[in-house]
A and B are shown apart, each in its own frame.
Chain A
Amino acid sequence: MPSETEALGRRAVACPKWRWLPGMVARGTNRIWGWLSWVRVEAFSNSETCGEKAEQLENPYPDLNDYATLGCLLRLVREAWGDNYAWMRATNRYYAFSERGADCCEPAWILHVLDPLTQTYRKIPGITEAEALIAALEAAP
Chain B
Amino acid sequence: MTDELKDLGRRAIACRGWKWLDGMLDGNIHEQRYSADNQGFLELNDFDWSHKGAYPNSLPDFSDPATVGCLLALVREAMKDPSIYARLFLREGRWCTCSDAYMGTSLLVNGKYLWGDTEAEALVVALEAANAL
Closest A residue by C-beta to B90: A85
Q: How far is the CB of B115 from chain A (nearest CB, A)?
A: 14
Decide: B66 and A23 in contact? CB cutoff 8 A. yes
Is A44 an interface residue, CB under 8 A from the partner?
yes
Chain A residue nearest to B83 in the complex (CB): A90
In the assembled complex, the Cα of A71 lies from the Cα of B75 at a distance in Å of 14
The stretch among A1-9, A28-36, A91-99 that forms the contact with chain B is A91-99
B131 at the interface (CB under 8 A from A): no
Q: Does B54 contact A (CB under 8 A)?
A: no
Beta-carbon contact of B67 and A94 below 8 Å: no
Q: Which parts of A48-68 form the interface with B (CB within 8 Å)? A: 66-68
0 or 1 for each of A70-99: is its CB under 8 Å from B? (1 = yes): 111011000000000101111110110010
Which chain B residue shows the least CB distance to A40? Answer: B35
Q: Is the CB of A88 within 8 A of B85?
A: yes
Given A22-B64, A90-B82; 11 other pairs, CB 8 A cutoff: A21-B65, A68-B23, A69-B23, A70-B69, A71-B68, A71-B69, A71-B70, A72-B65, A87-B86, A89-B87, A95-B100
A131 within 8 A of B: no
Any A CB within 8 A of the CB of B101: yes
How many angstroms between the C-alpha atoms of A132 and B24 in the bound complex? 23
B3 within 8 Å of A (CB atoms): no
| Interface pair A68/B66, CB less than 8 Å apart | yes
Number of interface residues of A (CB under 8 A): 28
Residues of B in contact (CB 8 Å), total 30
| Shortest distance from the beta carbon of B6 to any chain A beta carbon, whole Å | 19
Q: Is the CB of A23 within 8 A of B64?
A: yes
- CB pair B65 A74 closer than 8 Å: yes
Cα distance A1–B128 in the bound complex, in angstroms: 43
Residues of chain B contacted by A75 (CB below 8 angstroms): 65
A-B pairs with the 7 shortest C-beta distances?
A71-B69, A23-B66, A68-B23, A68-B66, A90-B83, A75-B65, A90-B100
Residues of A contacting B66 with CB < 8 Å?
A: 21-24, 68-69, 71-72
If A21-B65, A23-B65, A71-B67 touch, whether A44 touches B85 (CB-CB below 8 Å) is: no
| Residues of A with C-beta under 8 A to B67 | 23, 68, 71
Question: Within residues 23 to 39 of chain B, which ones have a CB less than 8 A from any CB in chain A?
Answer: 23-25, 33, 35
Residue in A66, A90, A92 whose beta carbon sits within 8 Å of that of B85 in the complex: A90
Is B21 an interface position by the 8 A CB rule? yes
State which of A40, A67, A88, A95 has its C-beta within 8 Å of the C-beta of B33.
A40
